[in-house]
Amino acid sequence: DAKTTQPTSMDCAEGRAANLPCNHSTISGNEYVYWYRQIHSQGPQYIIHGLKNNETNEMASLIITEDRKSSTLILPHATLRDTAVYYCIVRVGNTGNQFYFGTGTSLTVIP
Amino acid sequence: GAGVSQSPSNKVTEKGKDVELRCDPISGHTALYWYRQSLGQGLEFLIYFQGNSAPDKSGLPSDRFSAERTGGSVSTLTIQRTQQEDSAVYLCASSLGGGRNQPQHFGDGTRLSIL
């Protein structure tokens, strides 16, 4: 099963870009990279996902290296409401139907 | 549109009692998942339903745990003879299909406390 490695915590100044790295060196060719975040007492919130091309949506951008062994989630203009735990996930399970959530990165946006 | 809805949001019960947790997935989503999250831990997969296929029960921790999904929509997770180690947040998610390219959308969970 492909696992992920993320820094335990990061700080970011409000209004600046937050760049959250993730290593997934054992990812296989058909596994997608997903990003979620979780704010205390709420369920995980879907942010973005990708296979090998860079992706962008209204929340964030996802940059995946050419060898697919790592990726970076970019929040272009961080706000205080972006303070949360961010999870980088590679789908696992026999049919890709289970998510393995690690410990994630606790992002604190500082005023 | 409406997201995944779970009820109750909180449940406190005595050890040995049975509990039922409910999940209403997003309308039209054929895949439904149950996870649990213990304090400070990641998510633990429990069970997965996809359409009319037999559910993947590989994550259920014991035979005290069971789940059903009626009419391909609402799901109920039942825990019999609850134990203190069952205390956790139980999360439900749904997705449009069961493929690898389908994001799972989560509810806010049921916080279960066993006294």
SS (H, E, C) chain A: CCCCECCCEEEEECCCCEEEEEECCCCCCCCCEEEEEECCCCCCEEEEEECCCCEECCCCEEEECCCCCEEEEEECCCCHHHCEEEEEEECECCCCCECCCCCCEEEEEEC
Confidence of residue B1 (pLDDT cuts 50, 70, 90): low
d(CA A68, CA A24): 8
d(CA A39, CA A85): 7
Which token pair is A15?
A: 């209004």
Is pLDDT above 90 for B89?
Answer: yes
What integer pLDDT is reported at residue A100 of this predicted model? 77
Q: Maximum distance among all alpha carbons in chain B?
A: 41
- Token pair 């825990």 is at which residue? B79
For chain B, state the CA radius of gyration. 13
Q: What is the pLDDT of residues B6-50, one digit of tens each?
A: 999 999 999 999 999 999 999 999 999 999 998 877 788 999 999
CA–CA distances in Å: residue A50 to residues A30, A55, A65, B32, B53: 11, 6, 11, 21, 27
Contact check, Cβ <8 Å, B56/A96: no
Beta carbons within 10 angstroms of residue A43's beta carbon = 23
A contact test, residue of B10, B30, B41, B43 with most A CBs within 10 A: B43
Beta bridge partners of A18: A75
If DSSP codes are grouped into helix, strand and coil, which group holds residue B12? strand
Question: Minimal Cα distance from B98: which residue of A?
Answer: A97
Higher pLDDT, A102 or A23: A23
Chain B residues close to A95, C-beta within 8 Å: 56, 98
Nearest to A28 by CA among A102, A94, A77, A105: A94
Instruction: Identify the weakest region by mean pLDDT among A14-28, A56-70, A90-104, B89-103.
Output: A90-104
Q: What is the pLDDT of residues A8-36, one digit of tens each?
A: 999 999 999 999 999 999 888 888 999 99
Confidence of residue A94 (pLDDT cuts 50, 70, 90): low
Question: Minimal Cα distance from A88: which residue of B?
Answer: B42
